[in-house]
Amino acid sequence: MKNVAVDEAGGQAAFTFSKDTVKNKSYGLYYVNLKKNRKILVSGKNFDQLHKGWVVSTHGKIFFNKAGSELYFGTTPKPLPPLKDTLAPKEKVRLDIWTYHDTLLQPQQLVQLKRERNRSYTAVFYPKDSKLVQLGNLKLKEIRINPKAKGEFSLGFDNRPYLKMTSWIGQWYSDVYLVNRKTGERKLIIPKLAGNASLSPNQQYVAWYNVQDSAWYAYSVKTGKNINLTGKIPYPFYNVLNDVPNMAPPYGMAGWTKKGMLVVYDRYDLWQLNPSSATAPVNLTSGNGRKENIRFRYVKLDKEAQTLPDNMLLTAFQLKNKKAGFYALTMKSRKLEKLVLNDFAYNRPLKAKKAPVIIWRKESFRVYPDLYVSNLKFSDTKKISNANPQQKNYIWGTVDLVHWITFNGDTMQGLLYKPENFDPNKKYPMLVYFYERYSDRLHRYYSPRPIRSVINFTYYASNGYLIFVPDIKYKVGYPGASAYNCVISGTQAMVNRYSFIDRSRIGMQGQSWGGYQSAYLVTQTDMFRCAEAGAPVSNMTSAYGGIRWGSGMSREFQYEHTQSRIGGTLWDKLPLYMQNSPLFFVPRIHTPLLIMHNDKDNAVPWYQGIELFNAMRRLNKPVWMLVYNGQPHNLSRRADEKDLTRRFQQFFDYYLKDAPEPEWMKKGIPAVDKGRDFGFETGK
């Protein structure tokens, strides 16, 4: 006996069972009516109730719907018998064949191999009628079943026609089908959908966001027509900060109401849309989000709820000053009540199932995220944990939200962390760190701990450093120049504004996408006394056609459509690939550079670090590269994390604090001494 399921009322059960004793046995699916002591072999003798050549999958989940009227299980084509292994290892051929016919690259297929071998296809058994319906198949692999849903429809998703193009477009498309669970019939209702679709609880409409015209739509199950729900609303429902060469995604949806209305988000507010378009859209938060620059989002307190409650709890985030908290919204009257809004970050609260009590965390850079309980109004708050009592024994740093104007005239935000016991009359060294937009993390708490790849703000502040973290706004085709525009203008603004920054002792650190920009910036400026570039792409022309080994995907998509932001193919945009590649400007580098690039990096091929290191080494420029053996993009072993933390500090302290130079920097560690001499000593 294997998989077992019992319905919610406790009157029905199902399980898989096999009498076979062989290793690769086949299991039959049994249904049992516990009240009538009735047992049915659902799959039939020799699986004759299933598709020919198919069997019950032991990897598929077995479950009843909430009403107990439907039993779901998985089926699969009968697996081939294992090959007889009579060859010695040296006689075996180990080969992957890559062809242009493959919808997914071979590395991606190998990453997904176990999942595909264990894939099951949804089937449903109706105990009352002893009827079995196969819903999923090789052409429609994904059927989304909601056990609590009423009605006879579900949605099916087929991404097969678009799999090949994911290698270069970076967007996952699917054809969406309306599937009748009673008959197995399916109807194509949304071709080539980018994103998700949602079936209304009353099963009258299917809602989705169309990236082509940036509008929310509803499909009428009754009429088969599509209805544009937001075309007349004068505000965008796409991410207005999207700065990658791809269609902007939506802000998302909150859900459906009991009356079948759809609730979606713009950048600030919640909108109620009538999927029949019989009534005009309603701004549930009355435009207060846009007026006060606050982003409102629904908090689902009841995990089992299928529809939105009339009285909703909303998160609130003030986009300009980063205050956060919660509001209460009564949908019917559109009454909006502020409950709490202050200089903290909050996690999503959890509600007791049978009481109006919630538990939540709040934090800031100086306040540990302990647990609190309160009522739904956030009054009568009690702190119920003290998980970090030792912090009171230490002096902590602070963080400020800062603003400046870039060379291009944009107003940007950033964070400036200050040391403990900060004295504005002293001079402090400063580290500059960056990754996309970071300022929304103003109130994030960072425990001092060994690092995986990125400097720990609390640790460096406690060791007498300032840390400046600028936001970056990108222009498609010019990611390097965009980083220069924001990072260098921001650093200059901080130096000009604050006399406590020692302008002769500024360092820089970045990892991954930030590591690329760190490597690029040292080819464009001598502002930094030293820099670290973690897992950097140094040559976009060679990185473009590589593999992201963690997923097995080609890297093409990220240059053409996502984070790398070139916006075209290598052959169409070759000058931009070269212009944004640090490798082609290595002779300009005068900044000592530390690189970390591990030999099992699963995101950025480590030969990218090697190319940069070899170029700088040939030109006799100060460069070091840390290669943690067997480690991925970010370190995963505690010993390596502690080692990296120490080397980072020694590197930055040497250049920015005039600390003694450690042996690993001064002379290096020969391979014959690997594992015996770590080179941390100074003054030899």
Q: What is the mean pLDDT of the chain?
A: 96
Residues recorded for the chain = 684
Q: How high is the pLDDT of residue 170?
A: 83
- In sequence order, what are the residues at sequence separation of 6 or more whose Cβ sits closer than 8 angstroms to the Cβ of residue 45? none
Q: How high is the pLDDT of residue 21?
A: 62
Q: How high is the pLDDT of residue 23?
A: 66
- Is the pLDDT at 123 greater than 90? The verdict is yes
Measured distance CA(681)–CA(684) in Å, rounded: 7
Q: 216-263: per-residue pLDDT in tens?
A: 999 999 999 999 999 999 999 999 999 999 999 999 999 999 999 999
Instruction: For the beta carbon of residue 344, count every other beta carbon within 10 angstroms.
Output: 19
Buried b (16+ CB within 10 A) or exposed e, 585-610: bbeebebbbbbbbbeebbbbbbbbbb
What band does 429 get if pLDDT is binned at 50, 70 and 90?
very high
Q: 529-576: per-residue pLDDT in tens?
A: 999 999 999 999 999 999 999 999 999 999 999 999 999 999 999 999
Q: 407-417: per-residue pLDDT in tens?
A: 999 999 999 99
Q: Which amino acid appears at position 396 of this protein?
A: W
- Is the pLDDT at 160 greater than 70? The verdict is yes
Q: 11-30: per-residue pLDDT in tens?
A: 999 999 988 765 667 899 99
E strand or H helix at 547: strand 547-548
Q: How high is the pLDDT of residue 86?
A: 85
Q: How high is the pLDDT of residue 681?
A: 95
Instruction: Work out the burial of residue 629: count CB atoms within 10 Å of its CB; fewer than 13 is exposed, 13-18 middle, 19 or more buried.
Output: exposed
What band does 81 get if pLDDT is binned at 50, 70 and 90?
confident
DSSP 184-207: --EEEEEEEEES-EEE-TTSSEEE
Q: 176-210: per-residue pLDDT in tens?
A: 999 999 999 999 999 999 999 999 999 999 999 99
Instruction: Work out the burial of residue 132: count CB atoms within 10 Å of its CB; fewer than 13 is exposed, 13-18 middle, 19 or more buried.
Output: buried
Average pLDDT over every residue of 346-363: 96
Tokens found for residue 277:
């378009």
For the chain, give the percent of residues with pLDDT over 70.
99
Rounded to two decimals, the pTM is: 0.94
Q: Which amino acid appears at position 638 of this protein?
A: R
For the chain, give the percent of residues with pLDDT over 90.
93
Instruction: Work out the burial of residue 334: count CB atoms within 10 Å of its CB; fewer than 13 is exposed, 13-18 middle, 19 or more buried.
Output: middle
Q: How high is the pLDDT of residue 684?
A: 56
The 3-state DSSP composition of the chain as helix, strand, coil percent (nearest 5) reads 20, 30, 50
Report long-range pairs for 383-391 (Cβ below 8 Å, ≥24 apart): 384/359, 388/447
Q: CB–CB of 296/315 below 8 Å?
A: yes
Q: CB–CB of 510/596 below 8 Å?
A: no
Q: How high is the pLDDT of residue 16?
A: 94
Q: 514-533: per-residue pLDDT in tens?
A: 999 999 999 999 999 999 99
E strand or H helix at 647: helix 638-657
Tokens found for residue 20:
């076979």
Give the start-end residues of each E strand in 444-500: 466-470
What band does 42 get if pLDDT is binned at 50, 70 and 90?
very high
